[in-house]
Structure 1
Amino acid sequence: MRTFILSTLFLGIYIILDIILNELMWESNTKLTIYLQNKEFKGEQEIMTFFSNWLNIFPGIALLVFMFKENKLGAILYGCMIMFIISFNSLLKNIYHQPRPFWTEEDIKGLQCNKEFGKPSGHAMQSSLMCFLLPCILFPAIWRDQENLKYPKLLRVIIITIIIIWTLITGFSRIFFGAHTYGQVLLGWIYSGYIMINYMTYIHERLLNYFKTCLVTGGPGIGRRVIYISILVTFIWSMISYLFYRLNSNEILINNAEIQLWLDAMLRKCTSQINPYKFKSASVLQNNCFNNSFQILFIFFILLGTKLCGGTYDESKFSQNFAKLKWKLKLYRVVLLLVLLLIVEPFVFFIVTEHLSAVIFFQTIPICFFGGFVLTYFYPKALFHLGLNIEGDFLNSENRIITTKIHANANEV
């Protein structure tokens, strides 16, 4: 508990300091951002855009690990942490309800026009978590030698250096774009660090051991109690998120005059925006934050899909059998997963509306549902029915059936 107490104490002290120094940091950031934008060199926007926009490369790496490596549980837990940090950041933004610098400071350009609240920085929270948990969860041998894997010291130094630089430049890019103050970026890093430290210290290994025990051949599977608890936690999370959404929607925490100034600034400074947004538009302010807070449903659907699939998983058997597969069969398995993931594409690109309820129920929730179920239900079942599964596959339903029959016969004897 020492780590939890110390990290919580540090977080609490920083939150207090952030409140006290908020005005000072905002004023100094305004000068800093104006200076950076006025001194912009050729190609700087392109460099900053790369680090700011290419965060999706990390979920892509997790997907590759899920397809080709035995650390499939790690890949899924990594994806769940990404969805959690997005949801948590969105909840925090509705609690802080602080504007972005380019909304209020006339001399700051809106080089990237994000339209939800600005504090804490979502890019800072996501990039730091994705970067640092990548080696911790997906490639743990980078930090510490594993039984059959050891990285050279130089490679470790290079990878860790890239992680640190990527995180710092992503945060710096948000200041340069006028999307965040450095105070919002720092707060994002603090929250992200707090979550990562406590997750890796107290939760990650226990989750891995729990799932490995449940999913081993002949194991009990995911218990109903876990599903019930996840339903309760998701419901409480949604209610808290809804509370702060309503406080902002009813203009209890924010001022109507300020809101209109912010919306006007978006229209004037965002070249990609043609039509003015209304206060109730799904893409802006508290509405966008409330919608994104539902990303936590991805974790629930991962658990539910794992429960309903009822399969087994054996890392050692998978790596042995996957290595023996012909390249064509490996390719078929990859194509199958990618085709199944296309299920979510219509919800991403073809549902275009500014009605918040429609976006939540016909886009966000279906994406979380299909995203979670593709990995834990549709893909394992499809592999089995197409004859592409191998012994040790993730949620291999055949093993569970065979094991059940064996135990039944043993009981009869």
Structure 2
Amino acid sequence: MKRLGQWLLRVVLAFDWPLLCILVLMGVLGLVIMQSAVGGTDWRFADQARNFALAFFAMWVVALTPPKFLMRLTPLLYLFGVVLLLGVEFFGETSKGATRWLDLGIVRIQPSEMLKITVPMMLAWYFHRKEGKFGFLDFIVAGILLAIPFVLIVKQPDLGTALLVLMSGFFVMYFAGLSFKLLVPAGIALVVGLSALIYFEHDICQPGLDWVVLHEYQKNRVCTLLDPSSDPLGKGFHTIQSMIAIGSGGVYGKGYMEGTQTHLDFIPERTTDFIFAVYAEEFGLYGGILMLVLYFLLIGRGLFISAWATTQYGRLLAGAMAMMFFVYVFVNIGMVTGILPVVGVPLPFMSYGGTALLTLGVASGLLMSISRHRAQLAR
């Protein structure tokens, strides 16, 4: 009985309870909207419930793991992830024009998902080893560590995952002390590039024009963003229908399971990338604000854990995990509302998908581990 009590105490102490409460609310909301998105009879609802259970278990296991142990494993995890990406490059399976999967015999995996976690872990480990004494050359080395998996993922091609890996690594470098002055030229170049893209849209979006740096489907997504009405029944169909669904929800929404765009099958990928359109149609503006508040609390709690971490490793990794959630939300809602290209980024804890939920569960577990062990980590 005493051992059972000690085990239960360990389970309870493993969690950061404010973070857990936010995640439970988001999990319940995710299952509620998934029930509507699948129409109440689809097998994907039961599958998603199982995915949540697996993600919760992964979160708990990681939360129990001391950050010191994670630090020792970090270089091996990063190297293992890069090796798997190389395996995809040479031996990967191709589906729908993309080579993103690796068949290991007993299981088929998508290694790029793993790099969303291991890249920020590796960069946090690298800067932690420098003990705050690093210069410009160290940021160059960190940039190389980030660029290797980024390039391999872009080649698959998987621009959405590559973007998430890039941003999670960038936030580690920024929190480590990357000078804001170095970001100004990049910001200016981005503004100039976007302005040129909009101004010369008619010329550069002509059929047959090769953009060289982007695949044809990626070029089509950018051009569709600039003018969805150019192909309303083809490339622009996703964006147009999701915007109609969001607009038709109005202030109060049409009501749970009453969304016409959803249940008449006008919203493609409504259980995955475009699930926010389902939610906004049924719950309206107020429902959308409620969801954004939950995400704000999630990200805020992650940044709070980062601020209170007692080591460089914990501070950088927690900050990167929190900002990774932000990038997920910003990119997904941006592409569903028509202000960003469609890049296949799921909405955290809402979109259907076991691999993505497992990644989010591990990220949440890392935050809990850093929160729980900060006193032990400092000694």
> For the pair shown, which has the larger CA radius of gyration, 1 or 2?
1
TM-score (norm 2): 0.30
Does 1 or 2 have the higher relative contact order (CA < 8 Å, sep 6+)?
Answer: 2
TM-score (norm 1): 0.28
